[in-house]
Amino acid sequence: MTAPRRPKLAVWKFASCDGCQLTILNCEDELLAVAGEIDVAYFPEATRAVTQGPYDLSLVEGSVTTPDDAERIRAVRRQSRRLVTIGACATAGGVQALRNFGDVEEFRSIVYAHPDYVRTLDRSTPIAAHVPVDFELRGCPIDKAQLLEVITAFLQQRKPRVTAESVCVECKRRGNVCVTVAHGTPCLGPVTHTGCGALCPSYARGCYGCFGPADTTNTRSLTGMLVDLGMPRRDVQRVYRTFNASAPAFADESARLESRDGGEP
């Protein structure tokens, strides 16, 4: 009797730092169990062995920043039964989306000795801006437990149990003392997507939003509170323009803060 075919997994890289792919490798023990259930068919960061597509599940890291990558992601989508984006770059353009608020031509002429060799787009965009995406896993980098849940869910053909509540909810679950209430420390927890286990507040630091926006956010209201805590409006704008600068909830609020009146109410 022949063994049942194992689902084929592919891991793709676009513009990114590889940190989310490293999270896959960091799964270590769990990865062995997962590898027993799937055929790691394409994962250049882990192995040179390549099995041709189509693939049952593609994990995509990174954003689209070049014309070639805009073509490549369409080819990846055509080969993938399910496509999941992993990390802040793939889901929200990443740190490199800071270019979306500046002049790429100017950057190119300043940074590179031969800017004419650089073929780039003037914006860094998430994968979902180019092709349909079955699930977006947030974080910079992603959380190992959430990643394993997503892979397991797709193997079991069910919806991943990854909630989009805020870091504050996780903070309460851990029994943390709120750094804002107790110490007046600015914290993006009320508008940030859960997944890290409220890591920073657990060490008495404010959250700076590396998991991107939660599903229901009121960034404008939080801006008012951060300013009341003494944070200059320019710094509030900058904190929205870090890892997830192009995520709509953060991008809109940072643009409002950039307006001539500095987003004054």
Under the rule (CB under 6 A), what is the footprint of ligand SF4?
167-168, 171, 176, 178-180, 187, 189-190, 192, 196, 198-201, 207-211
CA–CA dist 185, 61 (Å, integer): 32
Identify the residue whose tokens are 């192009």: 246
Identify the residue whose tokens are 């943390």: 176
Element (H, E) at 8: strand 8-13
- Tell me how far, at minimum, the Cβ of 260 lies from ligand SF4, in Å: 30
119 Cβ contact list (under 8 Å, min separation 6): 66, 67, 68
Q: Which one, 7 or 189, has the nearer CB to ligand SF4?
A: 189
Query: 102 in helix, strand or coil?
Result: coil
- Tell me how far, at minimum, the Cβ of 199 lies from ligand SF4, in Å: 4
Residue 233 in contact with residue 262, Cβ under 8 Å? yes
Strand ranges (DSSP E) for the chain? Answer: 8-13, 39-42, 55-61, 80-86, 135-137
Query: 259 in helix, strand or coil?
Result: coil
Identify the residue whose tokens are 């630091």: 205
Q: Which one, 94 or 209, has the nearer CB to ligand SF4?
A: 209
Q: Which one, 156 or 221, has the nearer CB to ligand SF4?
A: 221
- Tell me how far, at minimum, the Cβ of 187 lies from ligand SF4, in Å: 3
- Tell me how far, at minimum, the Cβ of 99 lies from ligand SF4, in Å: 22
- Tell me how far, at minimum, the Cβ of 220 lies from ligand SF4, in Å: 16
Q: Which one, 69 or 170, has the nearer CB to ligand SF4?
A: 170
Q: Which residues pair with 206 in a beta bridge?
A: none
Residue 248 in contact with residue 105, Cβ under 8 Å? no
Q: Which one, 87 or 190, has the nearer CB to ligand SF4?
A: 190
Q: Where are the alpha helices (DSSP H) in 178-217?
A: 179-183, 199-202
Q: Which one, 10 or 95, has the nearer CB to ligand SF4?
A: 95
- Tell me how far, at minimum, the Cβ of 140 lies from ligand SF4, in Å: 7
